[in-house]
C-alpha cells in the first residue's frame, strides 16, 4: 500500500530514474564514469555493467549514509587527472555548488573528448539541504553554463510542465499534513478533491505540457573534442 502511495505522490523522481536508466543503457560496459555529487549512490544500480566512481563533499544531508563513496571531495577541485573519465552523472547537484561555473569547468576537464554526461537540475523546486542550496537554472542558463565550460548540449528536456508542478505541490502539502494533525483536519473536507487531482494531473500534464513551468530538467552533454 505504501509503495502505491509513494508511486502516486512522487512522479518527479520516478521520471528521473527512468531517464537515468535510458542513459545508462547506452553507456559501454568498459566505461569509467564519475558520479558527481553521489550522495548515497542511489543510482549506481543502473551502472552495474561499468565502473561508477562516487564523489561527494558529504555536507548535503546529515542523515545520509556516505560510506559507499569512492572519494570525499570538492567538485570545484576534482582530484582526478585530465580526461580520465568517460562521462559524468550529476543528479540534482549543480544547485548546491557555490561556484557552479568552476565545477562545470572541472567536470569538463576530467571528461575525455567525446564523453557523454547526464545532468539533472531543478527549477521550480523547494529550497532543500539548507544552507547549501544556492541556485536554480532555466534551460537557457544551464545551456550557457555548459557551453562555456566546453560541453556541447546533445539534449535538454523539461521534467513535465505546469500540472506536474501543481501535482508536486499538492503531494508536498499532503505529506506535511500527515505530520501535522491540525493541517490534516483542515484539509479533510477537500481531501477527495486533492486525491482526485493527484490521480488526474499526470495525464493532464501529458496533454497540456506548458513546459515553461517545470520542476526541472535533464540534459545530456558531450565533451567537445
Label each residue of 86-126 as H, E or C: EEEEEECCHHHCCCHHHHHHHHHHHEEEEEEEEEEEECCCC
* pLDDT at site 204: 86
CA 224 to chain centre: 23
Specify the pLDDT at position 4: 57
pLDDT at 118: 99
Q: What whole-number percentage of the chain has pLDDT above 90?
A: 68
**How remote is the C-alpha of 165 from its chain's centroid?**
15
- In the chain, the N- to C-terminal Cα span, in Å, equals 50
Q: What is the pLDDT of residue 1?
A: 45
Give the pLDDT score at 7.
Answer: 58
Pick among 3.90.76.10, 1.20.1250.20, 3.40.50.720, 3.40.50.150: CATH of 2-161+216-223:
3.40.50.150
- Which grid coordinates belong to 84? 580520465
CA–CA dist 215, 105 (Å, integer): 25
Contact call for residues 39 and 63 (beta carbons, < 8 A):
no
Digit-coded pLDDT (tens) for 162-209: 988 999 899 888 888 888 988 888 888 898 898 888 888 888 888 887
- Report pLDDT for 5: 59
pTM score: 0.90
Q: What is the pLDDT of residue 31?
A: 97
The domain limits of the chain are 2-161+216-223, 162-207
Residues in the chain: 225
pLDDT: which is higher, 99 or 191: 99
The stretch 65-75 carries a mean pLDDT of 96
Residue 65 pLDDT exceeds 90: yes
Q: Taking residues 83-95, report their average pLDDT.
A: 98
Cβ contact 205:164 at 8 Å:
yes
Say if residues 170 and 194 touch (Cβ distance below 8 Å): yes
Burial of 186 (0-12, 13-18, 19+ CB in 10 A): exposed
Cell numbers placing 159: 521534467
pLDDT on residue 199 = 84
Q: How many CA atoms lie within 13 A of 82 on its CB side?
A: 1
Q: Lowest-confidence range among 18-27, 91-100, 137-146, 179-188?
A: 179-188
Burial annotation 59-82 (CB, 10 A radius, 16+ → b, else e): ebeeeeebeebebeebbbebebee
Amino acid at each position: 500500500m505504501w509503495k502505491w502511495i509513494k508511486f502516486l505522490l512522487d512522479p518527479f523522481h520516478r521520471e528521473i530514474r527512468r531517464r537515468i536508466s535510458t542513459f545508462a543503457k547506452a553507456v559501454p560496459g568498459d566505461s569509467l564514469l564519475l558520479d558527481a555529487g553521489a550522495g548515497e549512490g542511489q543510482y549506481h544500480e543502473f551502472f552495474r555493467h561499468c565502473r561508477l566512481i562516487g564523489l561527494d563533499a558529504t555536507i548535503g544531508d546529515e542523515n545520509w549514509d556516505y560510506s559507499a563513496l569512492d572519494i570525499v571531495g570538492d567538485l570545484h577541485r576534482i582530484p582526478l587527472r585530465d580526461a580520465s573519465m568517460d562521462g559524468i552523472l550529476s543528479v540534482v547537484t549543480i544547485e548546491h555548488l557555490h561556484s557552479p561555473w568552476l565545477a562545470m569547468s572541472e567536470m569538463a576537464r576530467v571528461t575525455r573528448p567525446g564523453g557523454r554526461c547526464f545532468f539533472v537540475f531543478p527549477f521550480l523546486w523547494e529550497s532543500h539541504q539548507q544552507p547549501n542550496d544556492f541556485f536554480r537554472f532555466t534551460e537557457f542558463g544551464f545551456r550557457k553554463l555548459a557551453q562555456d565550460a566546453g560541453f556541447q548540449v546533445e539534449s535538454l528536456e523539461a521534467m513535465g510542465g505546469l500540472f506536474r508542478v501543481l501535482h508536486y505541490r499538492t503531494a508536498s502539502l499532503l505529506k506535511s499534513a500527515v505530520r501535522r494533525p491540525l493541517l490534516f483536519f483542515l484539509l479533510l473536507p477537500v481531501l477527495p478533491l486533492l486525491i482526485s487531482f493527484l490521480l488526474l494531473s499526470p495525464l493532464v500534464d501529458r496533454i497540456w505540457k506548458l513546459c515553461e513551468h517545470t520542476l526541472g530538467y535533464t540534459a545530456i552533454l558531450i565533451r567537445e573534442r
